[in-house]
Structure formats: C-alpha cells, structure tokens
Amino acid sequence: MRLNKFQDYRHFFILTYYGFIWFLYYYTERTIKPEYYIHSKIDLYIPFVKYMIIPYIFWYVYIFGTLLYLGLKSKDDFLKLTIFLFTGMTLCFIFYMIFPNGQNLRPIIIENDIFSKLIRYIYAVDTPTNSSPSIHVLNAIAIHIALIRCKRLEENKMIRVSSFIVMALIIGSTVMIKQHSVLDVVYGIALSILLYSVIYNLKFFRLLRFGKLSLTYHSKKFLNFFSK
C-alpha cells in the first residue's frame, strides 16, 4: 500500500529542483550588481498603486495551489508546468549573470498602512536587481497556461476566466508597485511564448507519456519516473 502511494505521487520529487532555483536566486541577489538599468518612457505614465501588492503577493498562492492541484489530479500537466517553470527560471538567472540588470523606478514610501508596509518588505527582501525578464510575469503566464490546457478544467469556464484575471492582475502589479519596468514584462511574455511553443507543441511530451522516445535506457528510465 505504501509503495503504491509512493508511485502515485513520486512525480512531486521534481519539485526538489526548487532548491537549486533558490540557490541561484540568493547567488545572483548577493553577487550580481546591475550594469544595465531597464526602463521605458511608458513607465513614467504607469501610476504607483499600493493596493496592487495584493495580487503581487498572491502570486505565491497561485503557483503553490496550481502545482498541488495538478500534482494530485493530472500528472502530465504537472510535469509540463514544472518543466516550464524550472526551465524559464533557470534561463532567467543565466541571463542575469550574462546581462546584469536592474531598475531604479521605486518610489520612497512613507505611509504606514498595511499595503505600504508590505511593499517596503518586498523592496527589502527583493532588491531592484535581476529584474529582466520578470520571473513574476513568466511564472504567472506558465500557471495560467497549465490551467487552461488541463483537460480536467477545459469545461470549467469559471476557473479559466478567474485564472486569466489573476494572471492579468499579477502582471499589472509588477509595474504598478514599481517592482519592474514594462520592458521586464515584455521580455517575460516573450520568453513564456518561446517556452510554450516548445513544451506544449512538440511531440516530445506526447511521446514521453507512452515511452516511445528514442532515448538511452537511463534517460528514458529517469523521465518515465516522473511522467508515469
């Protein structure tokens, strides 16, 4: 019985890659100094809206909730999503090392309401470095794509529409709390389109489900461990 439970949920082990992602985050956060500052004239016309910190923080719930749901209900969609997230974030951190960037759009916040305090906290723990492409934008899009591509949810218009609204609010929040430039958003969207075209449209993942790929024995065994 315990062995069957392990086999049913062993695909969750792929989430251990988050440990490497956190290592990359702390490494780049502490060692990379911006050499290029990303900004656009459009940023000047985007208002600072402190209330948008709510969808910005809700991003964490959006990711965790979707990973948990797909991990329990749809292993194939879970695998595609994790590969989307981990590949995208890894590419972003590599880009930050090659093209050290940041932004200087943050205002001075003197108010002491809960929203202002939350923004100050985010500013403190997440410095205005390594901002482009925006991982917040990339991951929000990845989550929405995973939900609308999930067959279990294809008839659930409420979830699909709600997810789109949440994704849009999260993307908007990145520029409205001045955590990102609009260019960071554009580059995040561009990267998500590239990853989507690879992860969801190639035969690789359709064949992987049935073990029909021409791989080495050990490679196939490793991939099937997570996909079955």
pLDDT tens, residue by residue, 168-214: 999 999 999 999 999 999 999 999 999 998 888 765 555 555 544 44
Which pLDDT score is estimated for 6?
55
pLDDT tens, residue by residue, 24-38: 999 998 898 889 999
CA separation for the pair 167, 141 (Å, rounded): 6
Percent of the chain scored above 70 by pLDDT? 85
Structure token digits, residue 52: 């948008």
pLDDT tens, residue by residue, 45-90: 999 999 999 999 999 999 999 999 999 988 889 999 999 999 999 9
Q: Which residues are 37's β-sheet partners?
A: 102
- Give the closest residue to 129 by CA, choosing from 41, 21, 26: 26
- pLDDT mean over 140-155: 92
Number of domains in the chain: 1
Which pLDDT score is estimated for 132?
92
What predicted TM-score, i.e. pTM, was given to this entire model? 0.85
Find how far residue 195's CA is from the centre of its chain.
Answer: 12
pLDDT tens, residue by residue, 68-79: 999 998 888 999
Which pLDDT score is estimated for 213?
46
Which pLDDT score is estimated for 205?
57
Residue matched to tokens 């969207």: 189
3-state SS record for 88-121:
HHHHHHHHHHHCCEECCCCCCCCCCCHHHHHHHH
Structure token digits, residue 145: 């794509």
Q: Which amino acid is at 43?
A: D
What's the domain range around 23?
2-227
